[in-house]
Structure 1
Amino acid sequence: MTNTLNEAPLGGGGADAAFGSTEVVRLESVRKVYGGGRNAVVALDEVSVGLRQGSFTAVMGPSGSGKSTFLQCAAGLDRPTSGSVVLDGVKLASLGENRLTKLRRDRIGFIFQSFNLLPALNVRDNVGLPLRLAGRRPDRAAVQEVLERVGLGGRLHSRPGELSGGQQQRVAIARALITRPAVIFADEPTGALDTTTAREVLVLLREAVEGAGRTVVMVTHDPVAAAHADRVLFLADGRVAGEIDRPSVEQVAERMTRLGAAGANR
């Protein structure tokens, strides 16, 4: 697979080039409760964490630990019961639904396990879709460039059904990159892929961080996937249960085993 994500960012450098210390996402005392009374379920319990610009963070934890809720609240897909989320300098609680939708469209990229491509659209139109939804005409040169970066420059006119799972996920990565987002949220992006293809996708995400200064937040259950991140954040019972910087597969697997054992003993 040929890709050049380590080239200059789409649309030039500027502020994107100065990354590394600013928090692009901040959750402060975030609590999320579903239901009420005896049926209330606390999915997140006073979570406070910051995610730096130009970083790659993996979020892990046992089943029911709050990983998906963390991603949904951080991305503005769900509103916390209490606490605050600041994304790209904007406090999400201050936004109405229309402005929140615009922020997600303009400043956030999403990658899902199921790819979420539109089968009736070809690759070029799938990648340009976020721009069309924002009322902007996709620049064909920019779409071509981002597809070249993920190794699909020759598949502009193919439809999703003509592509392998790995190729479809690369289209999804290109779609996430086309708006030059502040953050890319990835929910189990390698969950439906074989080992070799998963590694290719993780390399692309890594290069999006190192080459283009994007911030990636990835929910995963896979220690191998998590080891591609700069940092692994662990959740358990809706709370932050630790983190590892510059993780190895062995470190992540050992921590997950301990968290699973602790949950089984409660």
Structure 2
Amino acid sequence: MSEELLRLEDVRKVYGRGRGEVTALAGVSLGFRRGSFTAVMGPSGSGKSTFLHCAALLDRPTSGRVLLEGRDLTAASERALTRMRRQRIGFVFQSFNLLPALTVVDNVTLPLRLAGRRPDRRLVDDVIERTGLASRRRHRPGELSGGQQQRVAIARALVTRPVLLFGDEPTGALDTRTALEILGLLREAVDTGEQTAVVVTHDPVVAGHADRVVFLVDGRVSAELTRPTVEEVAGRMTRLGAWGELAG
């Protein structure tokens, strides 16, 4: 399907007041099609993290609108937003955010329990199998490698069958080989699971797996690439004058 799932309209985010005022997003307008994988890149301070937080309504914009399936979420109550995030949105972060006392199965099913939903055993088994965790079901995070922990985080994000999947540097703490395996899982989630993925990253290899790359500079959309290669992404970053900052 080609229609937009998520849309940001002239989103601005300003922190502080007076002399201490900082504009993190300066009027961002972007649409995201269903079943697409978008990478968001930019130098430090470009607004990437703020963009993700506003797009997911973890943080409300100062002005502008965020629409999910045509519904203006900026007008929703905090309770409604919490319910929507639990039911419609999945998150994968660099730090995994697993509970150390819980097993793999319990970490994966935690979002369902928080939402008051009884886990569908067949669905849980399928997600655990797809993410390569079948032999680790009863292990706790401390007994897993970094890559395995990120697999748990992805399984946890997918178990609610979200329409939208956000990633914040999801491969940043992983070695290259493991990062590629995790990227393959995210790509598979988009291609076969009807998810729409939006991933913030500094890594051209991650961006090379995306359908589209959006570049932010000083809180504004600076450029876009469609179906980019790793070399094209790296070249564009160099022209933005940001590569040195990202590599440093």
Amino acid of the residue matched to residue 237 of structure 1? D
Task: State the shift of 1:173 in Å.
Answer: 0.5
Amino acid of the residue matched to residue 140 of structure 1? R
Unpaired segments ≥5 residues, structure 1: 1-18
Contact 1:88 1:182 survives alignment (8 Å):
no
Structure 1 residues 1-266: aligned runs within 5 Å: 19=1, 21-260=2-241
**What SS does structure 2 have at the residue aligned with 1:154?**
helix
**CA gap 1:227/1:91 in 2 versus in 1, 3 angstroms:** same
| Deviation by residue 1:52-80 (Cα, 9 ceiling, x = unmatched) | 11000000000000000000000010000
Task: State the shift of 1:109 in Å.
Answer: 0.0
- Greater displacement, 89-98 / 205-214: 89-98
Task: State the shift of 1:251 in Å.
Answer: 0.7
**CA gap 1:70/1:120 in 2 versus in 1, 3 angstroms:** same
Contact 1:145 1:153 survives alignment (8 Å):
no
Task: State the shift of 1:122 in Å.
Answer: 0.2
**What SS does structure 2 have at the residue aligned with 1:205?**
helix
| Deviation by residue 1:116-166 (Cα, 9 ceiling, x = unmatched) | 010110000100000000011112221111000111112111101111000
| Deviation by residue 1:6-36 (Cα, 9 ceiling, x = unmatched) | xxxxxxxxxxxxx3x1111100000100001
Amino acid of the residue matched to residue 114 of structure 2? L
Contact 2:163 2:195 survives alignment (8 Å):
yes
Amino acid of the residue matched to residue 69 of structure 2? D
Amino acid of the residue matched to residue 23 of structure 1? E
- Greater displacement, 84-93 / 130-139: 84-93
**CA gap 1:61/1:134 in 2 versus in 1, 3 angstroms:** same
Amino acid of the residue matched to residue 33 of structure 1? V
User: C-alpha distance in 2, partners of 1:83/1:229?
Assistant: 26
Task: State the shift of 1:90 in Å.
Answer: 2.1
| Deviation by residue 1:197-217 (Cα, 9 ceiling, x = unmatched) | 000000000010111111000
Task: State the shift of 1:94 in Å.
Answer: 1.8
**Matched residues, number:** 245
**What SS does structure 1 have at the residue aligned with 2:135?**
coil
**What SS does structure 1 have at the residue aligned with 2:210?**
coil
Contact 2:210 2:227 survives alignment (8 Å):
yes
**What SS does structure 2 have at the residue aligned with 1:260?**
coil
Unpaired segments ≥5 residues, structure 2: none
Task: State the shift of 1:259 in Å.
Answer: 1.4
Please, what TM-score do these two structures have when normalized by structure 2? 0.96
Amino acid of the residue matched to residue 59 of structure 2? D
User: C-alpha distance in 1, partners of 2:227/2:58?
Assistant: 29
- Greater displacement, 29-38 / 81-90: 81-90
Amino acid of the residue matched to residue 124 of structure 2? V
Equivalent in the alignment of 1:15: none
The Cα RMSD (Å) is 1.3
